[in-house]
A = this chain, B = another copy of it.
Amino acid sequence: MRPVAIIGTGITKFGELWEQSLRDLFTEAALKAVEHSKAPRLDALYVGCMAPGLFNGQEHLGALAADYLGMGPIPATRVESACASGGLALLQAVIAVGSGVYDYVLAGGVEKMNDVSGGAATLALGTAADGDYELFFGATFPSLYALMATAHMARHGTTREMLTAVAVKNHFHGSKNPNAQYPFEIKPAAVADSPLVAEPLHLLDCSPITDGAAAVVVAPLDLAKKLVKKPVVVSGFGHATDTLALHHRDDMTELKAVALAARKAYGMAKLAPKDIHVAEVHDCFTIAEIMTCEALGFAKPGEGGRIALKGETRLGGRIPVNTSGGLKAKGHPVGATGVAQIVELVAQLRGEAGARQVKGAKVGLAQNMGGTGASSTVTILEVTK
């Protein structure tokens, strides 16, 4: 596979965007990415979206995206892997460019979740679980992650304060991101004082229901170098799956698909966890960030909460995690999330992240997952000199 780089990015405001439809959101992010990339054309596009049928009464997203972007008749493919749809759309674009079939490919992600009310949104998201064994018996994602949190607390001594540290840190980062849904800080006491959703998870442990879109343009590295000053190379990627149902796993305090995807990505990039300068990980709930940091090797098993409490994952810390605000504060339009992570990393690696810049960041890692970790992608990016 030939080397592939990211040459442009685009993102919308994240939030409750009552004035913009599904197609509006995708088109805004995609046009920004195309303009930013200076690509002479697009040869194909991939769009990650989880459940537009349930949220918006619209499938056939690829054709819709190409049509409204004004890029028809280019090949356009929708990719779905629940909340990892965006990360997977990027990987398909990277593989397609790497294969030589296409040169300039857009990878976007979008979700317009506020077209339905809260209960319907929770049910739509619930289709990422094992329908026959989880959702149909009443298990929704807050309850499944609550089980994981309870098990992690019991086995590793993870505490309320550690979960809180993740939420407070991500809101601190989000306060520096004007595109974030909740661009403000929260006090530690506010987390435990917020309504209980599924014990031990409170409202401020949970990512919100969000509308938004993000897009990037990828190209072969040799062409990328001619177009932009600082192409960001995709130096490693991995993708793996786990059982769809949580109770089918040997151990629900580990995220095996994340660990396996990371191992592949580190191997391809010839890098180790200590080489990563900045990371965007999938904090759909505070416990998810803790478990993900362990699976990625940023913390030893069971230590994910402690590194958050010590400030190691905060801006200025050993390994800043979710400088964008993460899913918690930036928002979580599920199909867009994996691509939005890449948008943040590209800004960081180019030194264009403003108030939330990680000094000297040259290597970044994005981790995006679906369900309770039944699918996960890990992507490693490096800026060229």
A→B interface (CB under 8 Å): 1, 21, 23, 44, 50-54, 56-64, 66-67, 72-82, 88, 92, 95-96, 98-101, 124, 127-132, 135-136, 239-245, 248, 256-257, 260, 370-371, 374-375
Contacts and interface: CB of A to CB of B under 8 A. Distances in A.
A374 B61 contact: no
A77 B72 contact: no
A81 to B, nearest CB: 5
B67 A59 contact: no
Contacts of A99: 1, 95-96, 98-100
A376 to B, nearest CB: 9
B96 A135 contact: no
A78 B374 CA distance: 13
A288 B243 CA distance: 40
A74 B241 contact: yes
Contacts of A44: 239
A52 B77 CA distance: 17
B241 A67 contact: yes
A243 B72 contact: yes
Given A54-B53, A124-B53, A60 B72 contact: no
Contact of A63 (B54, B64, B124, B374): B374
Contacts of A73: 240-242, 256-257, 260
A75 to B, nearest CB: 4
A337 to B, nearest CB: 14
Greatest chain B CB density within 10 A among A44, A54, A73, A371 is at: A73
Contact of A53 (B66, B127, B129, B243): B127
Centre residue among A58, A63, A128 by max chain B CB count within 10 A = A63
A257 B66 CA distance: 12
A145 to B, nearest CB: 15
B374 A60 contact: yes
Nearest to A127: B59
A252 B240 CA distance: 43
A5 to B, nearest CB: 16
Contact of A59 (B50, B239, B248, B260): B50
A244 B62 CA distance: 10
A67 B52 CA distance: 24
A57 B136 contact: yes
B81 A79 contact: no
Contacts of A257: 73
Given A79-B77, A242-B73, A100 B1 contact: yes
Contacts of A56: 131
Contacts of A375: 60, 62-63, 76
